Structure 1
Amino acid sequence: MVGASEALLFHGGEGERVAKRHRSATLLDLDILDCPVCCEALATPIFQCDNGHLACSSCCPKLRNKCPSCAFPVGHNRCRAMESILESTLVPCPNEMFGCTKTCFYGKESAHEKECIFSQCSCPSRECDYTGSYKDLYAHYKLTHSKFSWSIKCGIPYTAVMFISNKILIKRVHESKLLFAVQCFREPCGVYVTVSCIAPSAPEVGQFSYRLSYTKDGQTVIYESPEVKKVRKVSFETPQENFMLIPHNLLLRSGLLMIELCIVDKLNQE
């Protein structure tokens, strides 16, 4: 540790002042806060063997509570000193270079990054490797891939027309500067249809719900979701939940889908 500094903090009520020394330091190598077994960030509880070798709570059962360095038992004695260091170590947000000024406790960066407004989002086009903030991504997609997307407004039903083989259709909401991905997945039981918003889960992005409706030969399939899932990168893996299922007997031979889609801005409903 280098760059240590001290300051006096005063606490107490009227007529009483108690000085408490506050010290801070700079940690040169954050790797010492990682588990030496799995190399992931340590998290409480942290355990140590009689020789002082550390292991995280996840690794101890896998090691059968046997220290890999010296074979002494590990998983019973807590390392309170390292836990105190861990709980007092703040690091910059991974998006500091993009403008985020917040700090978070070491090992908790990923939790903050999911909700950080500065988190980078990936272009949904498979041939494009662009990444940027969700608003910059909106501008990029509108400028570069406009012929593959259409603009819609929240609260108004639109017909999304796509071939199942295309797998994805992008809708742009100009007011929110957001991209919404309508995806379809052909499975043995039919076609799954999902809707996601390409943005971090930051409160500033907003909250949205959606409704899907598909009709063929007088038969209608309706799916309503109270929340649009936010993703920073579109996944082309078959979803396990939150999807509309269109059975094979309701599909057109051409593979064309005509789905009525309505996205609702839950915070700005008229």
Structure 2
Amino acid sequence: MGNRVADLHSLTTFQELLKCPVCFNFMPSPIYQCHNGHTLCSSCKARVLNKCPTCRHQLGDIRCLALEKMAESLQLHCKYEEFGCPEIIPYHTKLMHEDSCNFRPYSCPWYGCPCSAVGDIPLLVSHLTDYHKAVMLYGCKFELEFLIEDLYKCQSYKWDVTIINCFDKHFCLHAEAFLIGSTPVYMAFLSLIGNQAEAGNYSYSLEIGGNGRKLTFEGIPRSIRESKRSSLESADSLIVLGGMAFSLGGETRMPMLRVLGRIWKAQIPG
């Protein structure tokens, strides 16, 4: 028992030696050191203007080869272990793994205002309903109405998120209104609070209709890690331009876009 505790203490001490004193992340190769033996990572070396952050002496291009060699044999738990990641990763691939780890926490998908909330799926769902007051709907078929506001008279950007609880998953229906130049654009798309591999198991349709007209879109939901940027760049969403929105919404003082949606499990090729 005593030897095991000593081994764990030695491992913890070694891991601390591998952390950069500037960014506090594990240092990938190359690892640099000053003449007094203080180390830092290559990314931070340029940030500190080539001066050691510990003793303030001038840095050169001295590599700490001993520390780099010792790190090669080290294997570490993913930093998202607390979120469920079971992986134990070789030291030099740790950062690469964590950049794309499926268990890394999700950022808040309420793009209409700056929000720094991050967390796992239950925390994020609670955050959306409690803080942003997002409405939660249950079932794989849904119907919503969105007020078509005059973007010239109000603000030039509007955003809304509705949570759809379906197949024991949480999807976000995003509705956005914005101006491109002088043209109003109304956009809607679906994303999954989950990773992209899970999102690919589902398909969805959105239908906007009124006054004898109808627009329909079918697609695959994206992960909330990438949904807005990717949907804008690929036009992978239901988009209604300018006067068409008012035509579909009705010639009234407060026109509404009526959206019918459906989510189903995609057919996976055998």
What TM-score do the two structures reach when normalised by structure 1? 0.60
1:78 counterpart SS class: coil
Alignment correspondent of 1:184: 175
After superposition, the C-alpha distances for 1:204-225 in whole angstroms (9 at most, x for unaligned) are 7763344444456676655554
1:208 corresponds, among 202, 207, 213, to 202
Could you tell me whether the CA contact under 8 Å between 2:83 and 2:120 is conserved in 1? no
Residue 162 of structure 2: which of 157, 163, 169 is its match? Answer: 169
Distance in 1 (CA, whole Å) between partners of 2:118 and 2:38 is 43
Determine if contact 1:170/1:181 at 8 Å carries over to the other structure: yes
Q: CA offsets per residue over residues 156-201 of structure 1, 9 Å max, x none?
A: xx65544477711222222xx1011001122113223231111245
Unpaired segments of 5 or more residues in structure 2?
111-116, 149-157
Structure 1 contact 185–238 (Cα < 8 Å) conserved: no
Matched, 1:249 2:243: yes
Q: Among 192, 197, 205, which residue is 2:192 paired with? A: 197
Q: Report the CA distance shift for 1:181/1:102 in structure 2 as closer, same or farther (over 3 A).
A: same
Deviations 1:120-170 (A, max 9, x none): 669989xxx997656x969xx9xxx997313007xxxx6554447771122
Q: Select the structure that is richer in strand.
A: 1
Q: Does 1:72 align with 2:59?
A: yes
Conservation of the 8 A alpha-carbon contact between 1:38 and 1:59: yes
Higher helix share: 2
Establish whether residue 36 from structure 1 lines up as the match of residue 31 from structure 2: no
- State the alpha-carbon separation in 2 of the partners of residues 161 and 182 from structure 1: 12
The sequence identity of aligned pairs, in percent, is 24
Distance in 1 separating the partners of 2:145 and 2:106: 25
Distance 1:72 1:146 in 2: 52
Partner secondary structure for residue 71 of structure 1: coil
The answer on 1:3 being equivalent to 2:6 is yes
Query: Which residue of 61, 71, 88 corresponds with 1:86?
Result: 71
Equivalent pairs, count: 231
- The 1:148–1:228 alpha-carbon spacing in structure 2 relative to 1, beyond 3 Å, is closer
TM-score, normalised to structure 2's length?
0.60
- Matched position secondary structure for 2:46: helix
Residue deviations 1:202-245 (CA, integer Å, cap 9, x gap) = x57763344444456676655554x422237x999997545443
When the two chains are superposed, the root-mean-square deviation of aligned CA atoms in Å is 4.8
1:152 is aligned, of 140, 144, 168, to 140
User: For the Cα contact (< 8 Å) 2:109–2:224, is it kept in 1?
Assistant: no
Find the aligned partners of 1:220 and 1:168 in 2 and give their Cα distance: 22
Q: Distance in 1 between matches of 2:162 and 2:223?
A: 16
Q: Is the CA contact (8 Å cut-off) linking 1:67 and 1:73 kept in structure 2?
A: no
- List runs of 5+ in structure 1 lacking aligned partners: 6-23
